[in-house]
Every structure is written in C-alpha cells, then in structure tokens.
Structure 1
Amino acid sequence: MSTPQTSGDVTAGGASTADDPWPVRVVSTKIKQWIERLGGVWVEGQITQLSRRPGTRTAFLTLRDPSADVSLNVTCSPRLFSEAPVELTEGSRVVVWGKPSFYTGRGTFSLHVTEIRAVGIGELLARIERLKALLKAEGLFDPRLKRPLPFLPGRIGLITGRASAAERDVLSVSRRRWPEVQFEVRNTAVQGAGAVAQIVEALIELDADPTIDVIIIARGGGSVEDLLPFSDETLCRAIVSATTPVVSAIGHEPDNPVCDYVADLRAATPTDAAKRVVPDVVAERALVRELRDRSAAALRTWVTREQRLLIQLRTRPVLADPHAAITQRAEDVARLRDSARRDVVRSIDRAVSDIQSLRSRLSALGPAATLARGYAVVQAVDDDGASHVVTAVDAAPAGAKLRVRVSDGVLRATSAGPE
C-alpha cells in the first residue's frame, strides 16, 4: 500500500518528535499496515449482536470469547448467513476465517470474515470429553477433594438466572423445609456470551463472604449449547479453587456438564439441590422424637432388666435371710462342739475307768496289799545307814540290824541268825 501524502514534507518513514509530530492520518495508516501484516486467521467464538439489514452489502456482528469478557467486531457478507447449511443466530458457536482490518477513517478495528463454520454438537461434545479427561488426569474429580456440606447451613449462596424457575424452586423448597434458612442470591446470565464471566465473578464474591456456608449453582434444563457455560474450564477451575462447598444443580437428571464432576455435590435438579442442602424440619423433628422415644424405651428396658436382676438377687436365700447362713453355721458349730464335748467326756471317763482299773490291779498286786495280808518287807541296814531287801537268810546274819516294814508302819529288829 502506498504511503499517503503528508503536508509539510512529513513522510511515513520519518520519526515523530514533539517538534515534528505525525498527523493522525499517518498514525492510522501505520496501524493499518501493521495490523494487515497478520494475514488471515481462524477464530472461534460466539455470535452476539448480529445485525443484517435488508439491501445492505455488509453484515455486522460481534464475536465473543465464551470464557472471557473479550469480543471482536466482525464484518462479512450477508450471503454467508443466508447460504449457511445451518441457521446462524445470536449465541451460535462458530469458527470463522477472516483478515484483520483497520478502518483509518474512524480508527476502528474489525475482522473481515469470508467463511463461517458452525461448531456442531459433535465437536462440542468432543471438546467437553477432552476437558473431562484433562481435569480427571489432574485429579480434580477425586472424591477425596470433595468438601462435606454443613448439616444445617445458616446462610446459602445461590447463583442462578434472574426470576428463573431454578431460583424459585430452590428458594421455595428450602424455605418450606427450613423456614429460618437465609439466602444470598446472585442473578447472572446462565447461557450465552458472558455467562461464564458473570458466574465466576459471583462465585468468587460469595466464596469470599465468611457468612456463606454453602454455594448452589442452579439452572434449569436446556440444550447442549445452552449448558455449555457450565462445561467451561474457567468455571470448573474456579469451583475447585473455592474454599466454600459448591453444589452443582444444572439441568435435569440426564444433563451432566463438567462442573457436576468438580463440584462437591452434584444435584439432579435445583429442587434436589434444595433437598440435599437444607434438612427438612418436619423430618428432623420426627427423627428427634423417634430417637427420644427409642432412647426412653431403651432406658426403661434397661431399668426393668436391672430391677428384675435385683429381685432375683434379693430372693436368693443368702440375701433373703442373711442370718440363715450364720444360724446354720452356729447350729453346726454347737452340734460339733457338743459332739466334741461328748467325745472328750467319753475319753475322760474311759481314762478314769482305766485308771481305776489299773489302780485296783495295782492295789491288788502292790506290796501294800501284800503287807495287809500279814506279810512284811525285811531290809538289812548297813553301818553306813544304807539298806537292802533281805531275800535270803545269808543276807541277815546274826546280829545284823533289820528294818521290818509291815502294813501300818516300820519296826527295828536285830537278826538272831538262821534257824
């Protein structure tokens, strides 16, 4: 492209200074040259703000990044829409081929597109599966990372569409189950361009609130394209990064966006999320009554069993009449004592009888009895006073001193010798 003519001999290649600045047209031309060096590019995005006026040769639209608040102005021929194999409307995911252009007259940038391809359902599903595989490989689906939900949350954060059926269901079911529960609601877009950015912003804001005990992300059912924001990688990683437990309640039972796998709890529907997060006051009171009745019954059974055991113990002879054992033993002791006394008496009597018998025999056989019958014991007395019984006549020669013992005394005599 030729360099535009400049007044005052200013050329496109000259350096600009405070004394020799470039005119606006030169700057715009240079920007246009640099931008157009990029050449043709393939770009993926979501169509928003589509404008096709009948009779015009140019259609205007905005191509928005589904995962970020970034957009491009796009121009193309209306023929690309009318001849497209599928209808292209606002919200459609497309891949376009175009060249960047800079309009020097107004100083605006746009992408001039010559080919538009709709991103089919098959390709979207394949991308979702690839994202699932990536996040699973990173361990973000690990059940050990799931945070437990509080039994009775005092304040619940709710991210949902404005005046949506999902919001109505969650609030009505929760308050019917536990009227005291409080909600902090954040209404965001739940489909289309900008939904991911708004949901992530609301999630970060609620997660930073220390009064929020659990966060519910809720949306009703819809097509695969409608639920695409909830399979966005940015949103999934934001859920994982949150410190507050997050419940995913997207669509109906068959719908499984990627955020269901990274959330701490997946609810089949928004109504199911309310039931899973908020306990039923009626059911809890019934459970408390049941547990109280069961504990009272268990206590009564225990007391009855212990009373029965005490009665059995008290009816045992040893406890029914504690003195009986002592009395019985006393009687045994008395009986044994009497028996021992009788045995001792018999032994003494027998010994006395034996002694008397021996005494009688001794008396009958002793020298006293013999002396009483007229016999005497003769002893010879020596000069030194010693005496010995005279058993022969030779032991008492004539003149020997004798000691004669009779039954009633002792006599002194002198031996006259043997006859």
Structure 2
Amino acid sequence: MSAKTSPEAPLPIRSVLQMVAQWIGRLGTVWVEGQITELTARGGTIFLTLRDPVANVSARVTCSRGVYEASLPRPVDGARVVMHVKPDFWVNKGSFAFTATEIRPVGVGELLARLERLRRLIISEGLTNADRKRRLPFLPSTIGLVCGRDSAAERDVIENARRRWPAVRFKVEAVAVQGPYAVGEVTEALRRLDADREVDVIIVTRGGGSLEDLLPFSDESLVRAVAACRTPVVSAIGHEQDSPLIDLVADVRASTPTDAAKKVVPDVGEQLTLVRQLRDRGRRVLGGWLDRELSWLRSVQSRPSLADPVRELDRRAEQVDALRERARRCLGSSLDRSADSLEHLRARLVALSPAATLERGYAIVQRPTGEVVRLAGEVKPGDELTVRFPDDRVTVTATST
C-alpha cells in the first residue's frame, strides 16, 4: 500500500478503510470468553462490551435480540459468557466490533472447576505454604483497608478496630469489589498500600455475596498480587462459609470484617488487664523473693558469731590460751623426759668408758702402731711399747717375757 501512495498521489480514506475491512473480514469466526459490561438494547440489536476479567482489555460486541434471548439464562452485566463472534470493521465510522452469533453463559459448575484448577496450581507453586506467611504486628501504626465505597464491611472494620484501640489509624482505598473493574482496582490499591512505608498491615474486605459476586477475589492476577505483597495481608471476604482463593495466599484469613478488626488490632481493655495481671504477678514474685531474703538475713543475724562478735573472739582467745598452756606443759614434760634419758645415757657411757677402767688402776699396753697388746706372749725382748694411764703415758722397752 505504501509503495502505491505518495504525498502527490494519496489514497482516499474510504479506500484504506475498505482495505482494512476486507482484511478483517478474512479472519473468520472465533470463540471468545469474557465478562459482559454496559449491556444495552436498541430496537432489535443488543450492544454490549466484552471485557477480559484479568487484563484491562475490552471490545464492543453486537448481536441480534434473537441471539441474546436464545441464551438461557439471559446474560446480565457482570456475567461470564462464551461467545461465537465474527470480527467486523465498519467502514462508515472507521470502528471495529464483534458480531455475536451465539452466546453461552459460563455455568457455576464450570466456574468451580476453573477455581479448583487454579487452587491446585497455587498450592503446587508453594504460594499457600505456612512458612511464607508473615506474622501480624502487635500494634500497627497505620492499617491499609481495601473495601467497597461506603460499604458495611468498611464500617465494621473501622468501628470495631477503634472500639478496641481508639488511636488506630486507617488509610482507606475505596474500590469496586465486584463486577468487571474489581480485579484491576483491588490490585492497584494493594500495590499503592504495599508501597506505603507507613502501612504496617493491609486488610482486604467485602461483605458476603454469591459465587459470581466473589469471583474477583479468586482471580489469578489478584491472588498472585496478594502473594507478592511485602506487607502482611489479612483477607476478610464474605462470611465464614465463603472461601475465595485470596484466603489461601493471605497471611491471615478472617471469617468476617469484624473478625479481621479483632485479629489486627489488640483490645486496649484486654491489654490493660494483662498489664495489671503481669504487674501483680511481678509484685508477688518480687515480694516472695524479698521475704525469703529477709528471712535468711534474720537467721544469719541470729547466729552467735553475728549476734555477739566479741564473745566469739573471747572464746577463741580462751581456746588459744588453753592450747598454748597445753603446748607448754607437753613441751616441758618432753624436755624433762629427754633430760632424764640423757643423764642415764651419760651414766652408762661413764660406766662403760675405758677411762673409768684406767682410773681404777688399770693400764693399756700398745705398740707404736696403736695396736693393743693383750698377751705377754705377743711381746719380744727389745720391743718398744707404750703404757697408757688415765692422765698420761710412758714408753718402755721389753727386756724379757
């Protein structure tokens, strides 16, 4: 087309639009799935918008009233449908739309089967594991609240939370909680609150409803957005019997909006009671410990060593004097016995001493070598001998034997 045109030889817009219409007309028919919005009827033609429930993508669809009424139950705004459509391009207006030749509503059974497949998928990926779930802060400074505009769920959460802790603060993100825009708005609100550093915990809540009303909270993109949040998320969707898939990946699941407020915010009365109980318990423990220590101190003070310290010193001094006197007696007696024994030994030595024998008139005859002569036969004439007396000695020469 560009090779046949130039600024000097342009194509009329009708020709270009006709070429586009011919190209689109060759695409044929196709089965598509989406969610109906903006459903209107004009004469015998039905106009609606078919929106992708995951991505922010939509397209205009037209069909005859007969095709619309042939679908039972008849589709309404927010309904999930499967359509057999043919793409058409309107040359006069330069607009694109689908023409539906058959409409089939997606039944509850099919929806439940899809939800079950998605549930198994997120479980297999570990998004529901307990080790991924974070603990809620004890007292959050700011609570992010994702809820419907002026909804009863918003009032329940805020009123019950402030009744439990009046100083609690909220950052409310009012979004659509059902219908074709719910998934996108809730996901965007989660992203904003998760990026806010002041928000310590996020509550996603809405009241009860039918399966179709709660479908946005089982959408795969929203479920993965909740799992990716760094801030702890509390899911409080519907009532106790309702269980959208967001409950599986949220860090805490609350059965109702009121239950969510109780799980996130502590009760000031309960906390004051707990403080009083702990204070009383601490007082009892400390009082018991002081009583035991005082009793031990009194028992120590009553001991004689502390009651009258001087008396104990006197008693010890008496013991020292007695031991010293006993030692003196023992040592004197030992010395006396040793002296007597020494005298006896000296007397025996004197009695047995050779000098004592010499004093009685005896003498000792020795050779010059000091050898004692005991027999006269051992002496030869001319031998020089020494005769020893008690006080002196004399040298003699033997003349005969």
TM-score scaled by structure 1? Answer: 0.76
What's 2:245 paired with? 258
The correspondence for 2:37, drawn from 45, 48, 51, is 48
Q: CA deviation at 1:337?
A: 3.5
Identical pairs, percent: 53
The counterpart of 1:179, out of the listed 156, 161, 166, is 166
* Alpha-carbon distance in 2 for matches of 1:144, 1:350: 94
Match of 1:272 in 2: 259
Is the Cα contact below 8 Å between 1:66 and 1:192 reproduced in 2?
A: no
Whether 2:292 is the aligned partner of 1:305: answer yes
Of 204, 212, 222, 1:225 maps to: 212
User: CA contact under 8 A between 2:208 and 2:239: conserved in structure 1?
Assistant: yes
**Does 129-138 or 220-229 show the bigger shift?**
129-138
Are positions 1:242 and 2:229 aligned together?
yes
Structure 1: any 5+ residue segments left out of the alignment? 1-11, 358-376, 379-419
Q: 2:6 aligns with which of 4, 17, 40?
A: 17
Q: Is the 8 A contact 2:175 2:185 kept in 1?
A: yes
The aligned residue for residue 206 of structure 1 is 193
Distance 1:292 1:15 in 2: 92
| Mapping 1:17-416, distance limit 5 Å | 17-53=6-42, 56-342=43-329
Would the alpha carbon gap of residues 327 and 23 (structure 1) be closer, same or farther in structure 2, given more than 3 Å must change?
Answer: same
- CA shift, 1:145, in A, is 2.1
Given that 2:147 and 2:154 are in contact with CA atoms closer than 8 Å, whether structure 1 keeps it comes out as: yes
Distance in 1 separating the partners of 2:57 and 2:338: 134
How far did residue 240 of structure 1 move? 2.3
Alpha-carbon offset, residue 275 of structure 1? 1.1
Measure how far apart 1:144 and its partner are: 2.2
Secondary structure in 1 aligned to 2:171?
strand
**Contact 2:37–2:78 (8 Å) recurs in 1:** yes
Q: Give 1:241 deviation, angstroms.
A: 2.4
Which residue is 2:355 aligned to? none
Q: Deviation string for 1:344-394 (max 9, x for gaps)?
A: 66678889999999xxxxxxxxxxxxxxxxxxx99xxxxxxxxxxxxxxxx
- Cα offset, 1:127, TM superposition: 1.1
Alpha-carbon shift at residue 85 of structure 1 (Å)? 3.0
Question: CA-to-partner distance for each residue in 1:254-293, whole Å, 9 max, x for gaps?
Answer: 2111111222221111111111111111211221222122
Code of the residue aligned with 2:230 in structure 1: it is T
CA contact (8 A) 1:68 1:194 kept: no
1:148 Cα deviation (Å)?
2.7
How far apart are residue 322 of structure 1 and its match? 3.5
Q: Which blocks of at least 5 consecutive residues in structure 2 are unaligned? A: 345-359, 362-401
Q: Shift in Å at residue 313 of structure 1?
A: 2.1
* 1-structure distance, mates of 2:96, 2:341: 152
Decide which moves more: 190-199 or 260-269: 260-269
> Residue type of the partner of 2:29?
G
Cα shift at 1:221? 0.9
TM-score, scaled to structure 2: 0.80
Give, in whole Å, the separation in 1 of the partners of 2:182 and 2:330. Answer: 116
Shift in Å, 1:214? 1.6
Segment of structure 1 superposing worse, 318-327 or 267-276: 318-327
Q: Partner residue of 1:386?
A: none
**How much does 1:231 deviate?**
0.8
Contact in 1 for aligned 2:53/2:183 (Cα 8 Å): yes
- Is the Cα contact below 8 Å between 2:46 and 2:68 reproduced in 1? no
- CA distance 1:347–1:204, shift in 2 (3 Å): closer
SS of aligned partner of 2:143: strand
Local SS of the residue matching 1:279 = coil
SS in 1 for 2:4: coil
Cα–Cα, structure 1 residues 347 and 103, in superposed 2: closer, same or farther, change >3 Å?
A: closer
Q: Deviations over 1:71-99 (max 9, x none)?
A: 11111122233232323211111111111
Q: CA RMSD of the aligned region, Å?
A: 3.1
**Over residues 212-269 of structure 1, what are the superposed CA-to-partner deviations in whole Å (9 max), with x where a residue is unaligned?**
2221111111111111111111112222222222211111112111111222221111
